[in-house]
Amino acid sequence: MVDVSITNIRPDRAAVASQWQLIWWAFKRHRLAMAALVVTLAMYIVALVPGFFAINDPIMQNARSTFHPPQRIHLFDTTNGFQFGPHYYGMKLTRDPNTLAAVFVEDTGVKVPIAFFGRGYTYSVLGLFNTDIHLIATTDKTKPLYLFGADRLGRDVYSRTVQGAQISLSIGLVGVFLSLLLGIVLGGISGYYGGRIDFVMQRVIDFVLSLPTIPIWLALAAALPQGWPATLQYMMITIILSLTGWAQLARVVRGRFLSLRTEEFVAAARLDGVSEGRIIFRHMLPSFSSHIIASMTLAVPAMILAETSLSFLGLGLQPPTISWGVLLREAQNIRSIATAPWLFMPGLAVVVAVMALNLFGDGLRDAADPYNK
């Protein structure tokens, strides 16, 4: 029974509250999960239109900016008193007198103001139309802004990280969606029919779960031809990831189906003359959809980590495709990261994304069953 007292909701409102409302009320009490939800949403908005949030063209190389260090944005302009005027300073390239290595020095004489919703490079919004408006744009094209610094080829790490969000975050969603299809179909069959089918399916699920995923992924990914176009590669990688990812979800679905099958309200519905299809979709599915969504949310970060690892090892997505794993390949050797530790920034993005999704999924799972308190 719902303990209305702990949710601080007036009983008359709770009386007519659907399960989603009850879940939302329970979820809202979980502050950290709420914060994670906000971060998750923000990251997916960025992933939807990365071009808008990027500053420089992520694929543009600049020989003069090799390993350009990150720059600071100064929010206030103090030249004429104290006022809001976000700007950054240009950088001067000098040489270390002893080692002769390139050193960038902030040139406080060159002040470049920042324009919000200004114009920059042209990008496509979801393939629908092109625009060149960016959240942050520099007003001096000859003095590019490198928020997270630049890589070996002088490409802007910040813009690449933002662009990488699109692939890295979506691969998790698509992969989980594929896993879910497999999981629901196989787990559903197993749990709904039970008996021998269930027994065989259980063995298969146990088997798949006991396999070490990464060696299998490596072997599968190694089988992909190198020359494939990026979209095909993307699809194949998601398929590979979901080939092992479905078992966990299938197990959850099966467990739910099995326990629901014995619920009295399902038996009651059958006696009411409700058809099998309606029993599944009207009675069983709503009862475990919240659990499935929670399990899915918790599976997305695992997928993101998997893609990142594969691409990092060179068996996942290949450059010029931009994903966080591909970007982290730049940080592969100790010499690069010793000179340019900012190459870790895409890794930070991975950590933030995965943590937010984990916390969000965790809160969702806790709130998923408002009736069994």
Binding site for other proteins (CB under 8 A): 1-2, 5-6, 8, 11, 14-19, 203, 206-207, 209-216, 218-220, 222-223, 225, 263-265, 267-275, 278, 283, 286-287, 301, 305, 308-309, 312-313, 315, 328, 331-332, 334, 337-338, 341, 344, 347, 350-352, 354-355, 358-359, 371
Q: What is the dihedral of CA 260, 263, 266, 267, to 10 degrees?
A: 130
Phi then psi dihedrals of residue 178, to 5 deg:
-65, -45
Residue 196, Cβ density class (10 Å: 0-12 exposed, 13-18 middle, ≥19 buried): exposed
Q: Residue 227 CB, nearest distance to other proteins (Å)? A: 11
Q: Are strands 74-77 and 129-138 parallel, antiparallel or unpaired?
A: unpaired
Q: Residue 373 CB, nearest distance to other proteins (Å)? A: 10
CA gap 283, 175 in Å, rounded: 27
CA gap 361, 358 in Å, rounded: 5
Q: Residue 138 CB, nearest distance to other proteins (Å)? A: 30
Q: Residue 197 CB, nearest distance to other proteins (Å)? A: 17
Residue number with CB closer to other proteins (69 or 144): 69
Q: Residue 95 CB, nearest distance to other proteins (Å)? A: 22
Residue number with CB closer to other proteins (147 or 304): 304
Q: What is the dihedral of CA 199, 205, 206, 209, to 10 degrees?
A: 180
Contact 339, 256 (CB under 8 A): no
Residue number with CB closer to other proteins (97 or 212): 212
Q: Residue 41 CB, nearest distance to other proteins (Å)? A: 18
CA gap 262, 270 in Å, rounded: 12
Residue number with CB closer to other proteins (305 or 322): 305
**In what helix (H) or strand (E) does residue 136 lie, and over which residues does it extend?**
strand 129-138
Residue number with CB closer to other proteins (136 or 331): 331
Q: What is the dihedral of CA 225, 226, 230, 231, to 10 degrees?
A: 10
Residue number with CB closer to other proteins (42 or 75): 42
Strand partners, 129: 125
Residue number with CB closer to other proteins (197 or 285): 285
Q: Residue 271 CB, nearest distance to other proteins (Å)? A: 5
Site of tokens 């390139």: 102
